[in-house]
Amino acid sequence: MNTTRNWIILTAFTIVAFLATKWLADYQDKKNTISEPTVHFDIDDIKQRGTLRVILEYNSIGYFIYKGQRLGFDYELMQQLAQALGVKLELIVPKEGESPFNLLNEGKGDIIGNGFLSNQKIKHQIAITNPYRDIEQVVVQRNKNPIINNPSNKAATDTLIRSIRDLENKIIYVSENSIYYQHLKELSDSNGINLDVRILPDGRTTDDIIEAVANGEIDYTIANKDIALVNQSYFENLDVNTIIGKKEGLHWAVRKNSPELLQFINRWITQFEKEKTYSNLYFKYFNENKHIQFGYNEEAELQQGMISHYDAIIQQYAKKMHWDWRLIAAIIYQESKFNPNARSWCGAQGLMQLMPGTARQVGVSTSQVYNPSNNIKGGTDYLKQLEDIWKDIPDFTQRIKFILASYNAGPGHVQDAARLAAKNGYPKDRWDGSVEYFMLYKSNPRFYRDPVVKYGYCRGQEPFNYVRNIINKYFDYQSKINNNTAQFADNLRLEQVAPVAFEGIEGAYNPTQGLIARNAKRVLFMSNKLFEENNELIPRDEGRNPFDKPKNELFVRKDNADSDSGNRLFQNKQTLFQQNNGSGLTIKPNHKINELTPRK
């Protein structure tokens, strides 16, 4: 009796504690939430002010800065919307801890420009627009997929996953606390399949995990199709065609007391989706290959001592800036493969891939940007500007690497990485083993939202690889091509530096050790098995498996299997398991019997 009473008291206490905790969390959430607008500002006020204030967060789809230029699918859509309103675009980027919904209701922004899914929790705060595009979740895998997690040591190749059932007993990696984990659980339950899911901690992003698939580090992950498509445009070996979820609409948000603005945006969405500009933007971010595909053929025969047909022009401008012309040639090879008509997905042009803004800055007109001489002059002039930015770095080799990274990603992102390095105890004036790794961290929200960071998200793997590729190409050219055009002092010679190991930051993912840490947690969804396979229970009747369910019951009596045994979940265990001299169930050797937990 006392035991029963204690269980009742403990259960009641647990329920009360849970409800109290939930109430406190809801109260704190509501306390920090501005549910009603504090200003009255609609479309006429916006036109009178002359600017549309758009709240946009940094990420690989919404908004980012690349080569000094503002880019992002949502950002460019907001540009089109502002143009339709006849006003200028003004960006509001939330700081760490700031709620975009609060910024909206406080009047600091007019619209939230990052797409989000509709749910009841946020509908009481804001008014949502009609969906401006749909998303669905897909399996991310390689086109030719060698099995990495193969039980045998023999090489094997998997066929491509084409349905959720093909994922049964495959190892799938997702980030901790992501929407993908819950989605996989729902799919496991609804389809009755076993999914071996591994949880990656330390805030690793979906982009990081997809890159690990492309690099052959892991086999499978799932992602929203738009994120998967962006990454496929960088990694041609990815397959993102297997859909495992229904389509859901993405929306923008305005204040509840801005009905005219909401009505205008909804009409604009309906019309703009039909225009070619929308399809061009979608292709630019989600389909267009991010690499230069045509250009210099390395197999083409050139005269001995030549690198390209533009060597004389390269030597002319390299001499003016006191650089080894073979280094400029290595940059051009990396940028355009010596294709003078090359144009990248983001609008960079010519041999040295000058961005439109950079070309104007160094005096190269639109009509001359594809002219090899003008383009190389503009590119070397820009390199001289970058050299001035990093003139305080004493070591020439390290200074060159800062300049190269800045040429690729823009000096702002490199300065951010240097500040992150200094904050975490690494030298800010050394690229190798220090700042280069903080460039990698600039794709991680934990770092690009740090207060010392001014330029937000950056796909850091690109400048990280860019510097290494150019330096390797330069030393390859140096070994094959004599430099008779100039002699350099010892302090102006590039030195070969072996890759420097990175100690990492406590509590953060170390990019030098590969994505998959050994402590990745495993969660095995067992939708149609009650117990782990290594904890088998011993049935009384050896000739019959008591877990075969002839009806909807989980367990049935042996002597009454065909009768209606009611809704009870467990029945007389003495008839189910063999007796052990009258002392209860027989424990299987070397195994512990778990507590039986009924299925939900």
Q: Is the pLDDT of residue 428 over 50?
A: yes
Report the alpha-carbon distance of residue 485 to residue 482 in Å, rounded: 9
**Which domain CATH number covers 48?**
3.40.190.10
348 shares its domain with 451:
yes
Give the other-Cβ count within 10 Å of 445's Cβ.
15
User: What is the distance between the alpha carbons of residues 53 and 58, in angstroms, rounded to a whole number?
Assistant: 16
Q: What is the pLDDT of residues 381-409, one digit of tens each?
A: 999 999 999 999 999 999 999 999 999 99
More confident residue, 348 or 519: 348
What is the count of structural domains for the chain?
A: 4
Q: Which of 485, 513, 541 finishes a domain? A: 513
Mean pLDDT of 86-95: 95
**Shared domain check, 439 and 549:** no
Mean pLDDT of all residues in 256-279: 96
| 327 and 451 assigned to the same domain | yes
Which residues, other chains included, contact 42 with Cβ-Cβ below 8 Å and sequence gap of 6+?
Answer: 257, 258, 259, 260, 261
Please report whether residue 572 resides in a domain.
Answer: yes
**pLDDT higher than threshold 60 for residue 469:** yes
346 and 260 in a common domain: no
Same domain, 387 and 485: yes
**What confidence tier does 257 reach under pLDDT thresholds 50, 70, 90?**
very high
Assigned domain for 276 exists: yes
DSSP assignments along 147-180, one per residue: -SS-SSSS--EEPPP-SGGGGTT-EEEEETT-HH
pLDDT in tens, 156-178: 456 799 988 898 888 999 988 78
Same domain, 262 and 323: no
d(CA 596, CA 592): 12
Residue 209 belongs to some domain of the structure: yes
The two beta strands, 145-146 and 157-158, are antiparallel
Mean per-residue pLDDT, 46-58 = 96
Instruction: Provide the β-strand partners of residue 432.
Output: none
More confident residue, 488 or 215: 215
- pLDDT, tens digit, 9 for 90 and up, residues 196-244: 999 987 678 888 899 999 989 899 999 999 999 999 988 989 999 999 9
- Domain assignment present for 121: yes
Return the pLDDT at 275: 95
Task: Assess whether 208 and 266 both reside in one domain.
Answer: no
Asked if residue 258 and residue 327 are part of one domain, the reply reads no
User: Quick check: is 458 in a domain?
Assistant: yes
Residues 497 and 452 in one domain: yes
pLDDT of residue 589: 54
Q: What is the pLDDT of residue 169?
A: 84
What does the pLDDT read at residue 103? 95
pLDDT for 151 equals: 46
116 lies in the same domain as 217 = no
Query: For residues 245 and 350, what is the distance between their CA atoms, to the nearest angstrom?
Result: 42
Range of the domain at 579: 530-600
Q: Is residue 86 part of a domain?
A: yes
335 is catalytic: yes
Arithmetic mean of pLDDT over the chain: 83
- For residues 444 and 59, give the distance between their C-alpha atoms in angstroms, rounded to a whole number: 9
Share of the chain above pLDDT 70, in %: 78
Residues 178 and 199 in one domain: yes
Integer Cα distance of 373 and 490 in angstroms:
30
Residue from 333, 342, 275, 336 nearest 306 by CA: 333
Residues 217 and 114 in one domain: no
Residue 364 lies in a domain: yes
pLDDT at residue 182 above 80? yes
Annotated catalytic residue within 76, 335, 506, 542: 335
